[in-house]
């Protein structure tokens, strides 16, 4: 960047590189729409007019807006690697994402973080990272790696690293665990933000969590929860992902007085939602449809996250700001027609036109050290009722309930007539194949099984099904693909049947295939699950979060059922010792 040329262009002494004319500028700083030409030089906004320019773009009355920002996303959840993620979201007007690579870090440790950083360089958009704070997320599961403050420290020298990611271990914060506090202190000493993650936390525990330096939360399920966290000084990221959908409940809380404390985020979005619905642009549209003033909805996607993350030259149209811009026709329902990154057109009419060459030779192998034939899914009957994980529609939260077990030949089995399925998490890293087994209600499967190596956050293999044979067949399909998703029909004599699968060979989380190909295959798998009776719109997203033992109430890991409220492993049978 030639700073002297920027100054000369701003003063009209040399031609600008680019001049937008006849557009309506979305001035998110002043909160108004104004008619003004916008000049760009060296990838930066240099002013509102120019005596001459190398290129002039006539916007013909369309809106010129800062590019959109996703304040919190796990790229791995798109099931495709960084170049294909860029191809999916950039044409939608998202020019900046703040990603947390804790999915791949829990599988591959520091190598996983390095992989994501290297894939993100020289992309036609801004990809920033918050370092994963919880690898592993808890000690109630087996992960592929462990990262302490010392292991994370070297990454702060990378210009793509801008803070510490979601601190899911809020019990560790409240207990003043030295290892947890060391990670928080390392970010705060550098003046960097620390994202929070504390579903349901309230009162003095919330105050203590916020006082430790947690700046945000994206886990609010109700407006009252979000209001209390704002009062505790936190910023709220309104999330609308594939699994957790909070926009409808939280958007009514946003108003003229408090909107500066809100941002949009997608957190986890599967490829079919990205391709069919959109990205941050969809959240903006839905917010406006729900009653938000368009300017407020756009500020939540631009200047608010830029300010929170200390991205000084992002998120607004003003001299010195990066020329990351989105052009659209209708401010009531923004849909990107042109997208610019550093003053260069990178997407037009929903299509990526910029160079987005994939780096070669970087893809790491996926640890998959287990033999499916040696895994035992059987459960010997014991006295008492069994705990059952009950799904909550459109939420990552679950509830625990008690049920009388269904027993065959001295073994507790699935009962599809009561919508109670066996569920298991099989450890894939050590070669010991430890297993936690329980039951879940809400999937609706009448036969067969589904399985996935996307199982937040340690990403062991999670399987749910009607018969042990179908569960083993699904596990076998995931392992043979080096990770991935599988659906088994359950038509065979032992419940196995036809197998449909999507291989995710990069850490068991991502494909190297084009995002549209991944989308089509995932839609086929969802359809296969629906044919077995599953009622969920996105069964694999729901399945993946049942292994996350930091979101209430009842979850499952390779070490067993987890009572999240008590933050401890709990027995399957009522009255059994812990």
pLDDT computed for residue 273 by the predictor = 85
Residues 502-554 have pLDDT tens digits of 999 999 999 999 989 999 999 999 999 999 999 898 899 899 999 999 888 99
The residue out of 316, 346, 363 marking a domain boundary is 316
The residue out of 270, 297, 316 marking a domain boundary is 316
Tokens of 56: 């002039």
**Which burial class, exposed, middle or buried, applies to 516 when counting CB atoms under 10 A from its CB (0-12, 13-18, 19+)?**
middle
- Kindly state whether residues 297 and 401 are assigned to the same domain: no
Residues 267-301 have pLDDT tens digits of 988 888 888 889 999 999 999 999 999 999 999 99
Is 381 in contact with 121 (CB distance < 8 Å)?
Answer: no
Backbone angles phi, psi at 303, to 5 degrees: -70, -30
* In the chain, % of residues over pLDDT 90: 87
Residue 358 covered by a domain: no
Tokens of 117: 């950083």
pLDDT mean over 397-403: 94
Tokens of 32: 């108004």
Q: From CA 325, how far away is CA 94, in angstroms rounded?
A: 9
Q: What is the mean pLDDT of the chain?
A: 95
161-167 and 194-196 beta bridge pairing = parallel
pLDDT mean over 116-135: 96
Least confident segment among 2-16, 179-193, 360-374: 360-374
- Kindly state whether residues 391 and 486 are assigned to the same domain: yes
- Kindly state whether residues 184 and 293 are assigned to the same domain: yes
**Residue 421, strand partner residues:** 440
Residues 406-442 have pLDDT tens digits of 999 999 999 999 999 999 999 999 988 899 999 999 9
pLDDT computed for residue 366 by the predictor = 84
Q: How far is CA 148 from the centre of its chain?
A: 22
Residues 185-201 have pLDDT tens digits of 999 999 999 999 999 99
Residue 90 covered by a domain: yes
> Is 90 exceeded by the pLDDT of residue 389?
yes
Tokens of 208: 């203590």
pLDDT computed for residue 476 by the predictor = 96
- Kindly state whether residues 161 and 234 are assigned to the same domain: yes
Residue 206 covered by a domain: yes
Is 370 in contact with 431 (CB distance < 8 Å)?
Answer: yes
Residue 432 covered by a domain: yes
- Kindly state whether residues 392 and 299 are assigned to the same domain: no
- Kindly state whether residues 297 and 149 are assigned to the same domain: yes
Is 499 in contact with 532 (CB distance < 8 Å)?
Answer: no
Secondary structure of residue 276 in the 3-state scheme: helix
pLDDT computed for residue 144 by the predictor = 94
Mark out the alpha helices in 356-480 (DSSP H runs).
Answer: 468-480
Q: How far is CA 409 from CA 209, 374, 412, 467, in A?
A: 49, 21, 8, 14
pLDDT computed for residue 358 by the predictor = 78
- Kindly state whether residues 433 and 537 are assigned to the same domain: yes
Is 429 in contact with 369 (CB distance < 8 Å)?
Answer: yes
Is 290 in contact with 252 (CB distance < 8 Å)?
Answer: yes
Q: Which of the four pLDDT bands, split at 50, 70 and 90, describes residue 98?
A: very high
Among 456, 501, 503, 484, which Cα is nearest to 166's?
456
Sheet holding 24-27, edge to edge: 32-35, 24-27, 63-66, 325-328, 338-341, 344-348, 351-352
> Is 80 exceeded by the pLDDT of residue 361?
no
- Kindly state whether residues 167 and 310 are assigned to the same domain: yes
Q: From CA 519, how far away is CA 142, in angstroms rounded?
A: 30
> Is 90 exceeded by the pLDDT of residue 323?
yes
The residue out of 269, 301, 316 marking a domain boundary is 316
Q: How far is CA 405 from CA 71, 79, 322, 414, in A?
A: 44, 36, 61, 9
- Kindly state whether residues 474 and 555 are assigned to the same domain: yes
- Kindly state whether residues 424 and 535 are assigned to the same domain: yes
Residue 62 covered by a domain: no
Domain limits for position 118 = 68-316
Domain count across the chain: 2
pLDDT computed for residue 362 by the predictor = 74
Radius of gyration of the chain (CA): 24
pLDDT computed for residue 271 by the predictor = 87
Backbone angles phi, psi at 85, to 5 degrees: -60, -45
Residue 347 covered by a domain: no
Q: How far is CA 109 from the centre of its chain?
A: 18
Residue 326 covered by a domain: no
> Is 90 exceeded by the pLDDT of residue 491?
no
Q: From CA 118, how far away is CA 112, in angstroms rounded?
A: 10
> Is 80 exceeded by the pLDDT of residue 38?
yes
Give the predicted TM-score (pTM) of the model.
0.92
For 361, other C-beta atoms within 10 Å of its C-beta total 4
Residue 33 covered by a domain: no
Half-sphere exposure of 144 (CA within 13 A, CB side): 29
Q: From CA 557, how far away is CA 434, in angstroms rounded?
A: 10
Residues 215-227 have pLDDT tens digits of 999 999 999 999 9
- Kindly state whether residues 307 and 381 are assigned to the same domain: no
pLDDT computed for residue 484 by the predictor = 96
pLDDT mean over 461-475: 97
For 142, other C-beta atoms within 10 Å of its C-beta total 19
Half-sphere exposure of 139 (CA within 13 A, CB side): 5
pLDDT computed for residue 394 by the predictor = 77
Tokens of 409: 């030949």
CATH of the domain at 134: 3.20.20.140
Secondary structure of residue 84 in the 3-state scheme: helix
pLDDT computed for residue 29 by the predictor = 97
- Kindly state whether residues 445 and 512 are assigned to the same domain: yes
Q: Provide the 8-state DSSP code for 436.
A: E
């Amino acid at each position: 960047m030639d700073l002297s040329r920027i100054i000369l262009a701003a003063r009209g002494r040399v031609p600008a590189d680019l001049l937008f004319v006849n557009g309506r500028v979305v001035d998110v700083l002043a909160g108004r729409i104004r008619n003004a030409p916008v000049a760009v030089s060296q990838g930066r906004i240099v002013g509102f007019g120019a005596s001459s320019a190398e290129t002039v773009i006539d916007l013909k009355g369309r809106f010129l807006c800062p590019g959109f920002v996703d304040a919190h996303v796990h790229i791995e959840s798109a099931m495709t690697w960084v170049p294909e993620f860029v191809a999916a979201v950039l044409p939608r007007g998202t020019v900046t994402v703040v990603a947390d690579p804790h999915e791949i870090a829990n599988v591959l440790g520091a190598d996983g973080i390095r992989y994501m950083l290297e894939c993100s360089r020289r992309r036609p958009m801004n990809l920033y990272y918050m370092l994963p704070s919880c690898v592993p997320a808890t000690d109630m599961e087996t992960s592929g790696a462990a990262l302490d403050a010392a292991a994370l420290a070297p990454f702060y020298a990378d210009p793509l690293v801008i803070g510490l990611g979601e601190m899911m271990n809020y019990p560790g914060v409240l207990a003043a665990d030295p290892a947890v506090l060391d990670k928080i202190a390392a970010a705060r000493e550098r003046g960097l933000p620390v994202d929070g993650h504390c579903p349901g936390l309230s009162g003095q525990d919330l105050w203590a969590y916020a006082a430790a330096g947690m700046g945000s939360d994206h886990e609010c399920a109700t407006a009252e929860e979000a209001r209390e966290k704002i009062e505790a000084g936190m910023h709220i990221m309104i999330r609308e992902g594939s699994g957790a959908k909070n926009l409808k409940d939280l958007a009514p809380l946003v108003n003229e007085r408090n909107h500066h404390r809100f941002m949009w985020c997608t957190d986890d979005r599967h490829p079919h939602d990205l391709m069919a619905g959109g990205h941050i642009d969809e959240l903006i549209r839905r917010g406006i449809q729900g009653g938000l003033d368009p300017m407020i909805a756009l500020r939540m996607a631009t200047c608010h996250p830029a300010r929170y993350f200390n991205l000084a030259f992002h998120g607004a149209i003003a001299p010195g700001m990066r020329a990351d811009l989105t052009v659209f026709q209708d401010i009531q329902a923004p849909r990107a027609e042109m997208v610019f990154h550093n003053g260069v057109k990178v997407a037009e009419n929903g299509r990526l036109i910029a160079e987005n060459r994939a780096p070669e030779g970087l893809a790491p192998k996926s640890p998959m050290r287990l033999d499916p034939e040696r895994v035992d899914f059987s459960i010997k009957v014991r006295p008492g009722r069994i705990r059952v994980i009950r799904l909550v529609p459109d939420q990552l939260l679950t509830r625990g309930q008690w049920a009388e077990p269904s027993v065959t030949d001295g073994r507790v089995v699935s009962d599809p007539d009561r919508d109670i399925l066996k569920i298991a998490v099989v450890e894939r890293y050590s070669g010991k194949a430890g297993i936690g087994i329980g039951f879940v209600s809400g999937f609706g499967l009448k036969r067969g099984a589904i399985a996935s190596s996307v199982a937040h956050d340690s990403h062991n293999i999670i399987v749910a099904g009607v018969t042990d044979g179908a569960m083993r067949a699904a596990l076998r399909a995931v392992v043979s693909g080096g990770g991935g998703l599988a659906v088994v029909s359950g038509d065979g004599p032992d419940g196995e049947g036809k197998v449909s699968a999507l291989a995710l060979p990069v850490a068991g989380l991502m494909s190297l295939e084009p995002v549209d190909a991944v989308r089509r295959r995932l839609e086929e798998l969802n359809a296969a699950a629906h044919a077995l009776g599953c009622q969920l719109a996105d069964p694999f997203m729901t399945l993946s979060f049942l292994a996350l033992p930091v979101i209430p109430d009842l979850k499952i890991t390779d070490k067993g059922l987890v009572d999240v409220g008590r933050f401890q492993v709990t027995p399957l049978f009522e009255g059994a010792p812990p």
